[in-house]
Amino acid sequence: MPENLQRDRAPRSRKETLYALVYGVAVAALLAVTGGVPASADETCQSPYMPKITGEEEYIYVWTLGIPGLGDGSDKVVTVDNRKGSPTFGKVIDVDSVGGRGEAHHGGFTDDRRFFWAAGLDDSKIYIFDVATNPANPKLVKTIGDFVEKSGGAAGPHGAYALPGRMMISTLSNKDRDGRAALVEYTNDGTYITTHWLPTNEKTAGAAIEKIADGYGYDARVLPRKNVMLTSSFTGLENYMRPFGEVVKDPEAMKKFGQTMVLWDFHARKPKKVFHVPGAPLEVRWAWGPQHNYAFTSTALTSKLWLVYEDTDGQWKAKEVADIGDPSKTPIPVDISLSADDKTLFVDTFMDGKTRVFDVSNPHKPKQIYEKRIGSQVNMVSQSWDGKRLYYTSSLLSKWDKTGKDNEQFLKAYTWDGKQLKARFEIDFMAEKLGRPHLMRFGSASLYGS
Amino acid sequence: MFRQLIASLAMVLAVTSAGSLAHDARQDRAATAASGLASTNYAFPLPEPGSYKLPPIKRAAGGRVLDESGRAFDLAGFFKGRVTVLAFIYTRCGDICPVASLQLSLLQDLAATKHDVANQIRLVSVSFDPEYDTPEVMAEHAANWRSKEPGAPDWQFLTAPDREAIAPILAAYDQTIGPKRDPNSPTGPLHHIFRAFLVDASGRIRNIYSLDFLDPRLVLNDIQTLLLEKHTNTNKRTAR
């Protein structure tokens, strides 16, 4: 027996256990607030079931779309060094290509944060990377290539959301390439469990419908303490894999965008209410505060900020709370990021390449307090848990990104002091022959006790 | 007495910290703990047993374990014929494991009030720290938590002969355990992600709980859902 164990050999007494329990309850209270282990830094849009990084994020993992003729042309996970004082700070230190191009888009970590699932919107493949063995050097350990078959026809895997011991994959489409979508569950080691199709007018699954149940999907996120899950809605393969210029000129295609959000009984995985939220509501961000029973989303086509909230009468409701830019100019809001204190919401708009910052202290009356042009186009934004560091990437979809000189492809890192963004570093993904950077996730060796 | 005391303290702590750390589910747990029985004031309405499905996730693995008296068993043997709630813990844990054990103790109390359920379920706590958590230590630990009520469901406290024996079990349940940077951490020397598993009478995992959802009434509803499913399947076979 190791020496340190021998010193502590006596069984824990009831008194000691009592102390441990009280301490444990205190920690549990903190868990209830943070959603995981006590956190001091991490992006704020992660699953609440996941441990958080203690200290600053050390690595940025960027799920990147390959570009034909650029570098190896393959989709890849790009690892960027964010360690203070590192000789490679702000540089690419690892590239893991998946050997093909399948419209790299979103992904996420497992609940133990040991594996990063990266999904392809076009080929419906899911790549599972080990990020725990060496956080500076992720390794592809498994590829799920039969997602459509196993799920019963769901396609276009989008988010990968950590649940206890399993992953929930929200999809955008199906084998017929339209917008009917599903939530598909897998074990953490990549074994299929089950599929939940989003409700439609014909198959409501018992949900109350405000106006329409279109069955479309996009994001899926859980507020555990209220046992509710919210899903949002975008469009199917037939639209998102078609050049954007063609889609907007096709009236029939423009009818095929989501206009709903669904509130679910999460534990039972049953839809309860289908809200009418026209204009393709995309990212869902639950507030973190222990009494904050609300979430934000933005609508891509109508440029509105929406609030889904539990009202004083106990009913969940959805309403518009702000314009994002000038909706008549169709700025196309894309990613949003809510600060851990629920006071500040960053909203990116793809067309004008801007990030807008809203004071959402009163979630019913957001006020824009800042805006900055990040580039000719911008999509994703991730922030640290302390809200002091923000990261932006440029790509939306391979066929929707701008062309010519406006097709800037970058990762840009900033500091935020509550008033303005200041540049830290940037990486030109075209010059580095990497591709179109999309989703960002943070990594750190501190997560694994080493 | 011990459990009532810690439950009361849990409530006091929860209530006194409510201003800054208010969490309706936690407060409810505290109220549950204080009463020693299940509360009817949950933060969210619970779905009725049998009104939802719990799809099989994967086979619940076995492996060589020791009971409190040091007798060797196959872990999978504990799953046969009963719905099992399986949790991986270690007794030196100073944060999550004691709270999880409190929740399981409340589940045991709650199940004891339902005689038709109590004899069809089992709780199993398995230590992943076999070098410290010997059968004797687990016996002492069990004495702190296990109900002495005659109608309470069985609760086993198991460990393994050594690290080599527990390793494949942990791998099968996707439980990664490692030393913390600070071996003297007041929250215990080991880093782990808490998960509890609901295993059906056929030995299949049907749900996985984080601490958020290890709520006694919620878990009991899941147990009853599996028992109803078993009853329905039996009736179907009888009808054929």
pLDDT digits (tens, 9 = 90+) for A145-160: 999 999 999 999 999 9
Chain B residue closest in CA terms to A265: B47
Report the alpha-carbon distance of residue B224 to residue B71 in Å, rounded: 31
pLDDT, averaged across chain B:
83
Neighbours of A88 (CB within 10 A): 12
- Enumerate the residues of chain B whose CB falls inside 8 A of the CB of residue A223: none
- Enumerate the residues of chain A whose CB falls inside 8 A of the CB of residue B26: 28-29, 32, 225
Chain B residue closest in CA terms to A11: B137
Contact B21 A290 (CB under 8 A): yes
On the question of pLDDT at B1 being above 90, the answer is no
Q: Which amino acid is present at A339?
A: S
- Read off the pLDDT band of B181 (50, 70, 90): confident
- pLDDT of B4-48, one tens digit each? 445 444 443 333 332 222 223 333 333 343 333 333 335 678 899
Sequence-distant (6+) residues with CB within 8 A of A345 are A285, A296, A305, A336, A337, A338, A339, A357, A358, A360, A366
The pair of three-digit structure tokens given for residue B20, joined into one six-digit string: 């800054």
Tell me, letter by letter, the H, E, C secondary structure of B46-73.
CCCCCCCCCCCCEECCCCEEECCCCCEE
pLDDT at position A43 is 59
Q: Are strands B204-209 and A294-299 parallel, antiparallel or unpaired?
A: unpaired
Q: Are strands A436-443 and A333-338 parallel, antiparallel or unpaired?
A: unpaired
Place of tokens 């969940």: A316
Nearest to B179 among A21, A32, A449 (CB): A449
Report the alpha-carbon distance of residue B240 to residue B237 in Å, rounded: 5
Nearest to A193 among B6, B21, B57 (CB): B57
On the question of pLDDT at A55 being above 90, the answer is no
- Enumerate the residues of chain B whose CB falls inside 8 A of the CB of residue A291: 22
The pair of three-digit structure tokens given for residue A314, joined into one six-digit string: 């106990």
| Average pLDDT estimate for A364-384 | 97
User: What is the per-residue DSSP string for B154-200?
Assistant: EEEEEB-SSHHHHHHHHHHTT---EE-S-TT-TT-SEE----EEEE-
Residue A312 buriedness (CB in 10 A; 0-12 / 13-18 / 19+)? exposed
Q: Which of A93, A112, A107, A213 is nearest to A161 (CA)?
A: A107
On the question of pLDDT at A359 being above 70, the answer is yes
- In A76-206, which ranges are E strands? 76-81, 92-97, 104-109, 115-120, 126-130, 139-144, 154-163, 166-174, 182-187, 192-197
Looking at chain B, the whole-number percentage of residues with pLDDT higher than 90 is: 67
Is B106 strand, coil or helix?
Answer: helix
Q: Which amino acid is present at A313?
A: D
Residue A343 buriedness (CB in 10 A; 0-12 / 13-18 / 19+)? middle
Among B68, B144, B163, B223, which would you mutate to test the A interface (most chain A Cβ atoms within 10 Å of its Cβ)? Answer: B144
- Enumerate the residues of chain A whose CB falls inside 8 A of the CB of residue B176: 112, 114, 132
Contact A27 B55 (CB under 8 A): no
- Enumerate the residues of chain A whose CB falls inside 8 A of the CB of residue B131: 1-2, 5
Place of tokens 């598909």: A184
pLDDT at position A360 is 98
Q: How far is CA A198 from the centre of its chain?
A: 19
Report the alpha-carbon distance of residue A168 to residue A197 in Å, rounded: 12
Q: Which of A261-270, A309-318, B24-33, B184-193 has the lowest mean pLDDT?
A: B24-33
Q: Is the dihedral of CA A205, A209, A214, A216 positive or negative?
A: negative
On the question of pLDDT at A8 being above 50, the answer is no
Contact B186 A23 (CB under 8 A): yes
On the question of pLDDT at A46 being above 90, the answer is no
**Between the CA of residue B157 and those of A213, B78, B144, B216, what are the distances in Å?**
49, 11, 11, 18
pLDDT at position B240 is 57
pLDDT at position A36 is 37
- Cβ contact A440:A380 at 8 Å: yes
Report the alpha-carbon distance of residue B117 to residue B101 in Å, rounded: 20
pLDDT at position B33 is 39
CB pairs under 8 A between A and B: 169
Residue B137 belongs to what H/E stretch? helix B135-145
- Enumerate the residues of chain A whose CB falls inside 8 A of the CB of residue B140: 11-12
- Enumerate the residues of chain B whose CB falls inside 8 A of the CB of residue A12: 91-92, 137, 140-141
Q: Which amino acid is present at A112?
A: D
| Average pLDDT estimate for B143-169 | 96
Q: Which amino acid is present at B196?
A: A
pLDDT at position A21 is 53
Given its phi and psi angles, is residue B188 left (phi above 0), alpha (psi -120 to 50 degrees) or beta? left
pLDDT at position B141 is 97
pLDDT at position A29 is 42
Q: How many helices, marked H, and strands, marked E, lie in chain B?
A: 8, 10
Nearest to A269 among B52, B181, B195 (CB): B52
Q: Which amino acid is present at A413?
A: A
Is A356 strand, coil or helix?
Answer: strand
Report the alpha-carbon distance of residue A125 to residue A147 in Å, rounded: 7
pLDDT at position A446 is 85
- pLDDT of B88-125, one tens digit each? 999 999 989 999 999 999 999 999 999 999 999 999 99
Chain A residue closest in CA terms to B98: A21
pLDDT at position A244 is 94
Report the alpha-carbon distance of residue A132 to residue B190 in Å, rounded: 16
- Cβ contact A404:A57 at 8 Å: no
More confident call, A22 vs A269: A269
Contact B178 A448 (CB under 8 A): yes
Is B140 strand, coil or helix?
Answer: helix
On the question of pLDDT at B72 being above 80, the answer is yes
pLDDT at position A38 is 32
To the nearest whole angstrom, how far is the Cα of B99 from the nearest Cα of chain A?
A: 6
Report the alpha-carbon distance of residue B207 to residue B205 in Å, rounded: 6
